[in-house]
Amino acid sequence: MDFKTIFENNEKWIAEKLAQDAQYFEKLSKGQNPEFLYIGCADSRVTAEDLMGLQPGEVFVHRNIANQVVATDNNINSVVQYAVEHLKVKYIIVCGHYECGGVKAALNPSDMGQLNSWLQTLRDVYRFHRAELDAIDDTQKRFDRLVELNVREQCINIIKIDHVQKSWYKTGYPKIFGWVFDVRTGKLIDLGLNMEKEFAEVRSIYDLKTF
């Protein structure tokens, strides 16, 4: 595919949207009011709006390698703050996916240059759960399980963020969910995490108690 094809596709997309609603772009230009913040992987196979069946303006999206929520990453922290304080999102979703290259790299460590520091957080997830993971003989199942555990750990990292805690104490939102996208079937899987319970278990460590 070349750039010419991309711009031709854009013209077709515009025509389709206007055929459905002549004021589509006029409405779109007036602002966004999404209820969801989606934090996912940068993998080109995993596009938030498509897999959720949502339209532009309905989901605020942040993507990085292996859907990490890193305390020292100004990018993700700025996204969370904007989503919570300004957009007033009701739900934060951390969505991993099976066959994730970042997770595979954590299971099979090697020198990856600039990626080493980014993947360290993911390798820490492996270290936290090494006994469980190493007890899984099937390589594919171990790979899939680390994908799931990584989502859980990143959801826990979300609850540590001050902007999230401030909003909780004021409004009870946002609610936090951990999902996995199965690229082998197209299905979204809700991991059924209970983040209120998770926070209660670590509250004495991470509750900032200033709100």
- What positions carry a catalytic annotation? 41, 43, 45, 97, 100
Distance of alpha carbon 150 from alpha carbon 152, whole angstroms: 5
Give the span between the Cα atoms of 199 and 93, in whole angstroms.
16
Cα separation, 163 vs 80, whole angstroms: 8
Order of strands, edge to edge, in the sheet holding 36-41? 59-64, 36-41, 91-97, 175-181, 188-190
Alpha-carbon distance 35 to 76, whole Å?
18
